[in-house]
Amino acid sequence: MERDATISEALRADMESKGIDVALTSEILEGINAGRYGGVAAVEASGVPPVDGRAIVPAGADMVYRVNRASAVDRLGALGLGLPAGAVVEGGTASLDRRALVDLGERLYPMAAWGVLNGGSATSYADRKKNASLGPGVLDAVADGFELLSPLCEGRPKGVTPAYVNPDGSPGEGFLVLKMRAALLRAARYSRRFGRPERPALPFFQMTSDGTDSQLAAAYSGYAGHPWLAPLIAETGTDPTRPRSARQPMLAAFTHSSEGSPRRVFDGAYGRRDCAIALPGGHGQGFRVLADVYRGLLADGYRYAYIGNVDNAGYYPDPAELAVMALSGAEAAFEFSYRTPVDIKGGILVTTPDGRRTVADIGQAISFERVKALEASGERALFNCATGLFDLTRLVPRLDEISANLPVRVSDQDKDAGRYSQAEQSTWEVVGLYDEPLGFAVEKGERFIAAKLLAETILASGAADASRLPADVAATAAMMARGLESVLAGPCGLELAGGAWRPR
């Protein structure tokens, strides 16, 4: 690509000093100005799809999945497996409850990997103004926990910050330690059932950023000897502290929409000439950034790959979902839960007028007013849980296509640095690029204990003054607290001892 003539040498030097990928920034800017990104318009939502057991499968404790027996046998046979003993066959249909699905899914662990989108810092996560947006009284209700945890978040990768507050008031372990432990316990389960596999079961991969990569590497050096992890690493041969990793480049900010077209690189940050702003380009860049990681996993014999946000304590490999992927032959599957009052940042699953399904990010792709209007009409909005499960044999050939076609959304910003715009690709709009994406309807309290804001972490810890919370937020907080306790005591293998969570 030729050099962008609108970028002066002084501006280019400033961009490079801030770790901005100048070539990628220019490529995206050229695409925006040429109108190549068809998804820049708001998503037109005609409704919310139903949980029908076929396209969207309920994935709770009462989960039952029905599939054509012959197709299932063929698909499992290609993986060297058969229907589990718990499958009930009637005519041409095989029915598997959660117990049978878990039995099958556990056999798939050596064929599956899991990863996190690990590029974000926890600075805005602990921003007081953002946390106040959860509603009147919320920040006051979580004040003690906020003062405890916010100093531990400033300038640090969110994944290494505390994922909860212990009942004794002390900070809990970080998001990544919890996820690594949950995955290692599953790898250990495989080894105890079937023997140690030829290749590590459930290896870990990640996308970092220039702002988080070195800090994460330093944290992982300490995690290698962590008492919650080290014995399981030795038992399983799976070492999440040495992940397959790729680093997301930073992009420059662009000019504000009020300056008209064509857009340029924003060059007046804080009123200084030739001064750019380095910004992440959205987690949707993961399909480009992680391409070699996905190719490497497939080459090494891994068939399935989970990817999810680091700040969701309920995200860990679910064997029942792995089983449905294998039985259904789906290209990809995504988790959704019914939206709650604290789910204000993220996307919802919608049906478009042409009958397709996609995820529309609130604020960027669909207005919050439209979401409320859908819900007011009787629809229950399915909120994106930021967890995807991909068949690598189908994903890898499409990586370039997905990277090129995933919508780039440009949003105006008005902050201390000035008035500018930011271009981002949302990971989960990939749903709209599939003809038949599979959905899992999960319980929010079990699989989507998200922490976009620090106040949510405190609410889920049960560390808020419930009497000061709005009634709807208080009810959601109680549900999240029950869910977090269930995740810590179950998948993470912890117990309360002396007012703090410890390994059993």
SS3 40: helix
Q: Which residue has the tokens 């919370």?
A: 469
This prediction has a pTM of 0.90
Band (pLDDT 50/70/90 cuts) for residue 294 is very high
How much is the pLDDT for 41? 59
Q: Is the pLDDT of residue 44 over 90?
A: no
Give 362 or 21, the one with higher predicted confidence. 21
Which of 35-39, 434-438, 482-486 bottoms out in mean pLDDT, i.e. has the lowest? 35-39
Q: Output the average pLDDT for the chain.
A: 91
Q: Report d(CA 90, CA 326) in Å as an integer.
A: 20
User: What is the percent of the chain with per-residue pLDDT over 70, rounded to a whole number?
Assistant: 97
User: In terms of Cα–Cα distance, which of 49, 57, 52, 51 is closest to 328?
Assistant: 57
DSSP assignment of 272-333 equals: -TTB--EEE--GGGHHHHTHHHHHHHHHTT--EEEEEETTBTT-S--HHHHHHHHHHT-SEE
Query: What average pLDDT does the segment 15-20 reach?
Result: 92
- Please give the Cα distance from 41 to 39 (Å, whole number): 5
At 372-391, the pLDDT tens digits run: 888 887 777 889 998 999 99
Beta strands in 329-400 (DSSP E): 332-338, 347-351, 357-361, 382-391
For 388-449, the DSSP string reads: EEEEHHHHGGGHHHHHHHSPEEEEEEEETTEEEEEEEE-GGGGGGG-SS-EEEE--HHHH--
Which pLDDT does position 49 carry in this prediction?
Answer: 85
Residue with tokens 């220019």: 26
Is the pLDDT score of 38 beyond 60? no
Average pLDDT over residues 240-253: 95
Is the pLDDT at 120 greater than 80, yes or no? no
For the ranges 16-20, 374-378, 399-403, the lowest mean pLDDT is seen at 374-378
pLDDT tens string 161-175: 999 999 999 999 999
Average pLDDT (213-225) is 96
Q: What pLDDT is recorded for position 51? A: 86
User: Do 472 and 459 form a contact (C-beta atoms < 8 A)?
Assistant: no
Task: Give yes or no for residue 121 having a pLDDT over 80.
Answer: no
Phi/psi at 73 (5° precision): -60, -45
Cα 223 → chain centroid: 22
Domains of the chain (ranges, CATH numbers): 37-248+281-499 (3.90.550.10)
Is the model's pLDDT at 123 over the cut of 80?
Answer: no
Query: CB of 50 within 8 A of CB of 284?
Result: no
CB neighbour class for 342 (10 Å; exposed up to 12, middle 13-18, buried from 19):
buried
